[in-house]
């Protein structure tokens, strides 16, 4: 979720960009905009940057482990195929 300071910053920027004639209503607009943005973000089921980075690191470690396991399976299969292959005869052309 976006922290409250960021929400305030977004609301402040929007109210600063309002036409001068709306000056007396700027605080109401800022408050309502902040509430609307907070409600919209809450419905979006967002994650924090920290949560994202933790999951990205976990995924990277999982991918490394999967790559090692795939290489190990390939090595074992190659060994089994070599052991199961019929011996070559020494007679040639």
Q: Do 29 and 22 meet the contact criterion of CB atoms below 8 Å apart?
A: yes
DSSP code string of 1-49: ---HHHHHHHHHHHHHTS-GGGGGGHHHHHHHHHHHHHHHHHHTT---H
Q: How far is CA 75 from the centre of its chain?
A: 33
What pLDDT shows up at residue 13?
A: 79
Query: Domain segments of the chain: what residues?
Result: 1-46, 47-84
What pLDDT shows up at residue 93?
A: 57
Structure confidence by residue, pLDDT tens digits, 8-53: 787 777 777 777 777 677 778 778 877 887 888 778 878 888 999 9
What pLDDT shows up at residue 91?
A: 59
What pLDDT shows up at residue 31?
A: 80
pTM for the whole structure: 0.49
């Amino acid at each position: 979720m976006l922290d409250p300071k960021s929400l305030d910053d977004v609301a402040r920027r929007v109210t600063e960009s309002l036409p001068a004639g709306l000056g007396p209503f700027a605080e109401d607009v800022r408050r309502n905009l902040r509430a609307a943005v907070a409600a919209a973000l809450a419905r979006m089921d967002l994650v924090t940057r920290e949560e994202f980075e933790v999951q990205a690191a976990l995924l990277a470690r999982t991918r490394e482990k999967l790559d090692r396991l795939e290489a190990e399976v390939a090595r074992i299969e190659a060994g089994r195929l070599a052991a199961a292959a019929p011996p070559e005869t020494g007679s040639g052309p």
